[in-house]
Each structure stands twice: as structure tokens, then as C-alpha cells.
Structure 1
């Protein structure tokens, strides 16, 4: 469904990604594991059209995404939830969410239906819908960020470090929510440093180091791989 072939990315003279090959079939939950600076966010930014690949192809279904405007990529159904949430802190929760539905603005009834679905998934956001997004806890802000992405009705959702900076109990709830989104039919690419929690809900995973894929396999293969356990799980 989503396929990256031989993707390379340069930041000036620095090659941030080198020959990346990743695929996610419809309905899969695929995890990208790697330390800070490994290239996970660069993969997402390139897939989203915010960075232009130096080489390679990114296909979503029958469509080539390289060279397509980011807004058109969202229209195709590929939606990124960025690292750090990137909310508008002085705007209300409801307005932040509605910005995610902008791509479907001509379908007001559909947008309102999706908003109700987001509130059903995250009841606290309905309760705090008039509160400024910046006044929410870290976990609640992450709910807004994911909810905003869901407002775009993604077919493939790119989640970049959703557990970063959250309390352990909130992290557990967040991964349960991500699994629920995936089980409802949305393909998910999840970039995470929390390897154990991410792999537990994944179908497959890739390990990224220095802008290259150094390992790939099923959830069980990577959970039971001694090198992966030592580097990312700590056991």
C-alpha cells in the first residue's frame, strides 16, 4: 500500500537517508526503531512531502508521492502526526482539531461526524474542547495531535514519537489507542524509541541507524533478537 524504494535525502552536503526501502501493506502496523538522529523523522518528512527525496520513489497505492505537494499527499490519505505535537497553543482544542479536517472542509457533515468520532475516542477532549490547547497536560496534548491527524481521515497514519515525554501510565494508554486505530482499518507507521511497547502492538518493524535500514523482521523476530533487545529494550 505504502512503499518507499531507494529513498535518499540530503541536508546540504549531509546525507540523512541512504537507500531506504520500507513498505506497509494495507491494515499493517509497522514500527520504525532507532535512536535520536537515526533518520526516523526524516523518513516521515520525506514521505509527507515536506522534504524532497534526492533519489528513489514513494508510492501510495498507484500514486507516486515524490514531487507531490504536502497538501495533495494528505488528500491521498497519507497523514503525519509530528514529533512534538506542533499544536497551536493559544487556540482551543476544538479549533486545533478542526484544522485537521480542513482538507475535507467542503464536506461539513462528514467533518462533524469525524469530530464526533475523535471525541468518542478521546472523551476528555470533548470535555476540554473550549480550553486552550497549551493549557492541557502532555498526554492530553498528544491526544489532540492524534485527533487532529484523524480529522484528515488517514488511510496511512505516520506517528512520530507519540510517547515522547509522557508518564508511563499515559504511554500505556497511548499505545492502546494506537492499536485501536490500527484495528479499525488504518495503516500505521509508528516511529518510536520505546521499542518494547511499540513492538508489542506491531506486525513488523525496521531498525534504522545512521540513515540506513540495518534490520527488519516480524514483531517476534525483533523482540527475540539479542542485539535489538540490548540496544533498544535493555534486556
Structure 2
């Protein structure tokens, strides 16, 4: 396998009962690459991220994370392998401040104070407002600030793979642009990123490659720019029979 490939998903099946929500999914993402996963509501995008992060066990298939095959692993094991998920809705902890959230991101990591400080400084460099609001509880932050904190929390682990589920929900356009600018900066530094996003035009403009999910299956993959006007993408959203 190419040394730049961070994650390979092979024949992934996953769901919440006997009938899989996602089936026969094959994906890969490399260092310095943004892979967009797009599809209509109910296509299985969040379920796929749950399977890739270990929150949902695989019914079939396997993952390969930085060359390490994974068949049955929970979220703790995948976190240790360098997979970080920013879930839809942020899921922060009321009562904990911004600083406490960032320190929590270092949990169970044996780092020197210097390295821990460098990681925190990098997060606040990307999102300066988090330094300004460092003593504020998460629940008093704006939606945009909460999204920045959720991403910062994931970045404190210096993940090999960063996954984001609908990061633009509820955010003002200027904040959405800021979040996507940060993701572009991370990609330029070699970060591998998978992003699920309903703002299809926006994410395809920023991603390198895209996978279109329809009824739990990947029906087309390719360069993101080439998929913008692809009728198969429109078919996946409109439920027509153009996808083959």
C-alpha cells in the first residue's frame, strides 16, 4: 500500500440491525487530501463515519489505518491509531471551559509540556477566538465558536485522519468559509480529511476527491471538481435512475 494512504475501507457493511445501512463501501484517503462524502438525507453518510471511527461495529469488511488492518475495533482503538471524528452537532460538554476541552483532548497521551503547549498554540493559531474565549464555558459560545472548539478538540490529538460530520450546520456563511479555510490549511500541512457535508457545491469546491453515497452504497467516486456538474450526482440527490 502507498505510504501516503492513511485509511482504506474495504467492503464495509454497517448498520443498526440485520439490514445494513451502508453496504460494500470501498474508500481510501491519503495524506494531504480532502475526501468529500456527499448524498441525500438518509443515504448513510453519518452511519459510514460512525463505522470508520469505531462507534459502530463493522458487520463485514475491514479498515486499514496507516497500514494496520482493523476488523473489530472500538473507538478507543481507532483513536489510538490516529482517527478523530468531529460529530454532527459538536457534542461538547456543558460546564467545561474552552481550555478544559482542549486539555481533555490530550487525555491518555504522554506528552511533554512543550508538545502539549505546541498543540494548543496551533489550535488557537487556527482559531484565535478560542484563545480569547479560553475561560468561557462551552454552552455560552456561539454556534461557530462551538464548531471551532469541536475541531480544536479533535486536533489536540494530532490525528492522522480527521473526519467531520456536517460541520457547516447552523453556521453563518462567513464562519463556514473560515472553517473550510482552516481545513485547506490542514490539508496543505499533510492532514488527511474526510468530510460529510450537505452544502455540496461548497464542499466540492474545496475537496480533492468525492464519493457519492446513495442508499448506503458508493455509486460514483472521482475528482471533486469533475463531479460538480456530473448527472450522477444530481441523480443521487433526486432519486432518478441516471446512476449506474
Q: Same fold (TM over 0.5)?
A: yes
User: Matched residue of 2:95: which SS?
Assistant: coil
Q: Please give the residue correspondences for 1:20-59 in structure 2 after superposition, counting only pairs within 5 Å.
A: 20-59=25-64
The CA deviation string for residues 153-207 of structure 1, in whole angstroms up to 9 with x for no partner, is: 0111011111111112211121111111111110000111111111111110001
Q: Which runs of 4+ in 1 moved over 3 A?
A: 105-108, 229-233
Counterpart position of 2:101: 96
Consecutive unaligned residues of structure 2, counting only runs of 5 or more, are 239-244
**Aligned partners of 1:100, 1:74: CA distance in 2, in Å?**
11
Cα gap change, 1:230 to 1:10, in 2 (>3 Å) = closer
Q: Is the 8 A contact 2:13 2:58 kept in 1?
A: yes
Q: Residue 230 of structure 1: CA displacement? A: 7.3
Counterpart position of 1:208: 213
Q: Is 1:16–2:21 an aligned residue pair?
A: yes
**Aligned partners of 2:237, 2:129: CA distance in 1, in Å?**
32
**Aligned partners of 1:96, 1:208: CA distance in 2, in Å?**
33
**Aligned partners of 1:130, 1:105: CA distance in 2, in Å?**
24
Q: Compute the TM-score of the two structures, normalised by the length of structure 2.
A: 0.90
Please, which of 53, 72, 85 is the counterpart of residue 80 of structure 1?
Answer: 85
Counterpart position of 1:118: 123
Q: Residue 99 of structure 1: CA displacement? A: 1.2
Counterpart position of 2:66: 61
Q: Is 1:181–2:186 an aligned residue pair?
A: yes
Q: Compute the TM-score of the two structures, normalised by the length of structure 1.
A: 0.93
Aligned residues: 233
Please, which of 107, 110, 113 is the counterpart of residue 108 of structure 1?
Answer: 113
